[in-house]
Chains A and B, each alone.
Chain A
Amino acid sequence: MDRRVAIVGIGQTRYETGKTESLDEIAFEAASKALADAGITRDEVDNVVIAASDQLDGRPISSMTLACPAGGYLKDEVKASDDGTLAVVLACLRLLSGVFHTSLVVSWCKCSEVPTAKVTNLSFDPFFHRDLGLNHINALSFQVNSYLSRYPISEWVPAKIVVKNRANAMGNPYAHLVEEVSLEEVVQSPIVCPPLRQLHLPLECDGACALVLTTRERVRLTTQKPVWISGLGWAMDSYYLGERDLHQLSSVAKAARQAYQRAGIKKPIDEIDVAEINELSAYHEIMAYEALDFCTPGEGYKLVEEGSTELTGKIPVNPSGGALAASPLFAAGLVRIAEAALQVRGDAGERQVTGVRTALAASCYGICAQGSSVFILSQES
């Protein structure tokens, strides 16, 4: 992509449960912070791309009340669905077309206002699956069991992921869950649906995240160090779980292939300095290592055992703490992009990985990661 679009502003609310602000207020907070971070005002933005789920927002057309709080008043504004990261995808397409120059991207989610599992149960078709009580959490165990039957890894491996991410979150002022846990606590935490235990799963919470994106021509108009989007990809898998190869994250692999190709990345493990992954469970982070080609299929556990994805490892994953520490469900993927951008900028504070030049952000969305998007962020070459 020749570094033609850059992230020049990042805004995050704190991610916490039971926020008392209304939905429009958290969208406004994130949007305002991103503009301030970019050192520009709303006047300098010529288009706004938001992403949200109507059902998670509790309003059939949630952008009605949220488009303007997110900065859309009298702007060319559009809303993507499915995942917060798709707003970044659409913004990039709009900027690369040459029609627009500076985009404000905003997404949010308030899991505390809505029974999320009930909503995701309604995303199952009413004829075959909905009556089985499936949702975004219990369906994950199909996937994990499928993975384990092919690659039987010890329960200490996902436990290490949880320990790592929770420890990393201690350095992230936006993460609401800032308690470290031990390996024993993870393997003894209550079973949700075997083999998934409570501590293997993301902690759903409230929050909003916003980015300012601009083109190479406009980048000097902002005060911020640009973080270039050097590659991106997005893909969907089939809907029926029975049709999918559940033991692997196919959508992630497809999206990554596109992103690597656009960024000219041939050996991800050597070329990427840090990764932020929206892990749907601790097991899914391991599966993502494989789908992202950090290692061959079935070898993800080795990266964990070697400590390669810890803060001081060869390719630190989720220095922010990832979704296991704080997941504003629909916006969790966008948060990964924001965190990866902070890493490239060198502004990640206590959670900063040293010497980051290239970062990866990956999102998984839908049931069992039906969809995925992958972004490669780089410093100026």
Chain B
Amino acid sequence: MARNVAIVGIGQTNYTTLRNDVTYPELVFEAVTKALSDASMSIDEIEAVVFSLAPTSLVGVDAMERWCIDAVGAKGKPFMRVNTGGATGGSAAQAGYFHIASAFFDTVLVVGAEKQGDTPDTQLILNQIWDPRFERAVALNAINMSSFQAVRHMHKYGTTEQQMAMVSVRDHKNALNNPHAHIRQAVSLEDVLASRVVCWPLKLLDCCPRSSGACAVIMASEGRTRKLMQRPAWIKGIGATTNTYYMGDKMETEMFNDHGDWDELALAAEHAYRMAGISNPAKQIDVAEIYGPFSCLEIAAVEALGFCPKGQGGKFEEQGFFNMTGELPVNPSGGALCSNPIAVTGLVRVAEAALQVTGRAEGRQVNGAKTAVATAIGGSLQFHTAMVISANL
């Protein structure tokens, strides 16, 4: 059996487009020092490091993680970088988990940063992710990739542009309570619907900002955790699923073959839920941090996570089910729609979920939250991760 693993320290910078005042390693260092201080640990107590960094073309230095060895105190220590595109933060957190669950280490630092403010057009790079022989020449990027998801969901279930806009309204409202959030401005349903069309049906306010910032999470074995703190957040379950690169392979209606649905996330969550002993997620999960950089994606995610029946995500959103005062609050942090530091967005979800279950989420705290799920998404909506985090072992 896997050893128990806890989150014992969290550090986040604020998220914003430009961080001209620091180099990339300096930005990473900010989050590391905050996490160490949060855990009351020194860097010497960190035994290994996992680095969370998605495409380095966004930050302009290839293998940027190697420049950060001293910023993360990893000289002479085991160090590895994980890169699964947008899902990187979720995958890095899971890699950190395995460092300890395997009994190789008692402490591990999982850290990374995004500095996409240094590149003028993120979507130019996110065009290069596509197969040079096919989709690259057809002007694909991450936004229209999500539009394809949206139109299929709309067609299949009758999901509306209004329902998608409501996701954005909720996230923006929540972000007002998160001091780290990049966009801290309330928007109305009308604002979202009237914002300019980017890739129909997605409008500007259905889309995430380009964020820079860093996040660090320290994990520890049960033995070490008991010596460190009273209220750790335990990692209870993990799961990940990869589907095909080819979006065109997912134009069917059956399981795993519909780009409009997130059956891959359902499979990843099923694994995580099983490990965590969760059989009725809508009842047993108190709060969710979902990586949805476009409003439509959160709708597919809540369905995949089993919070509502398939196809009903939009309707549940309409009914306020996922609001802070609803049955199952989603993204009290404001989610990826209000801060998307791509390399660490998945790790931020883990950090925020851990803050929630330990009652440390301050103004964005969901009352009495004990169990949370954090997700990440990457590639052509093909890489999915899920992690269940709980106050109770």
Using CB atoms and an 8 Å cutoff, list the residues of chain A in contact with chain B. Answer: 22, 48, 53-55, 58-61, 63-65, 67-68, 72-82, 86, 89-90, 92-99, 119-120, 122-127, 233-239, 243, 250-251, 254, 258, 366-367, 370-371
Contact = CB atoms under 8 A, between A and B. Distances in A.
B280 to A, nearest CB: 23
B383 to A, nearest CB: 8
Top 4 nearest A-B pairs (CB, nearest first) are A97-B101, A60-B55, A96-B102, A77-B242
Contact of A82 (B1, B61, B81, B271): B81
Contacts of A125: 23, 61, 67
14 contacts: A54-B83, A80-B95, A90-B95, A93-B98, A94-B98, A97-B3, A99-B101, A99-B238, A122-B62, A123-B61, A125-B67, A233-B78, A235-B76, A236-B75
A65 B225 CA distance: 40
B61 A76 contact: no
A67 B245 contact: yes
Interface of B: 1-3, 23, 53-58, 60-70, 74-85, 91, 94-95, 97-99, 101-104, 125-126, 128-133, 238-245, 256, 264, 267-268, 271, 275, 378-380, 382-383
A96 B268 CA distance: 20
B45 to A, nearest CB: 17
B2 A99 contact: yes
B75 A74 contact: no
B239 A76 contact: yes
Contacts of B77: 235-236
B129 A64 contact: yes
Contacts of A92: 102
B183 to A, nearest CB: 25
A241 B53 CA distance: 22
A97 B69 contact: no
A74 B242 contact: yes
A54 B57 contact: yes
Contacts of B275: 99
Given A61-B129, A80-B82, A86-B80, A73 B243 contact: yes
A305 B387 CA distance: 55
A122 B79 CA distance: 21
Given A68-B245, A78-B240, A97-B2, A238 B69 contact: yes
A243 B241 CA distance: 41
A76 B271 contact: yes
B361 to A, nearest CB: 28
A48 B64 CA distance: 25
Given A76-B239, A98-B1, A122-B62, A82 B55 contact: no
| Most-contacted residue by chain B among A80, A236, A239, A250 (CB, 10 A) | A236
B101 A237 contact: no
A367 to B, nearest CB: 8
Contacts of B267: 74
Nearest to B384: A76
Nearest to A121: B62
A251 B77 CA distance: 9
Nearest to B24: A125
Contacts of A22: 133
A237 B69 contact: yes
A126 B125 CA distance: 19
Given A123-B63, A236-B75, A60 B271 contact: no
B273 to A, nearest CB: 14
Contacts of A123: 61-64, 66
Contacts of B94: 78
A102 B340 CA distance: 34
Contacts of B241: 74-77
Contacts of A59: 128-129, 132
B125 A60 contact: yes
A54 B62 CA distance: 9
B82 A78 contact: yes
Nearest to A255: B78
Contacts of A58: 132
| Most-contacted residue by chain A among B60, B82, B83, B238 (CB, 10 A) | B83
B79 A78 contact: no
Given A123-B62, A254-B76, A239 B57 contact: no
Contacts of B82: 78-81, 90
A53 B242 contact: no
A238 B65 contact: no
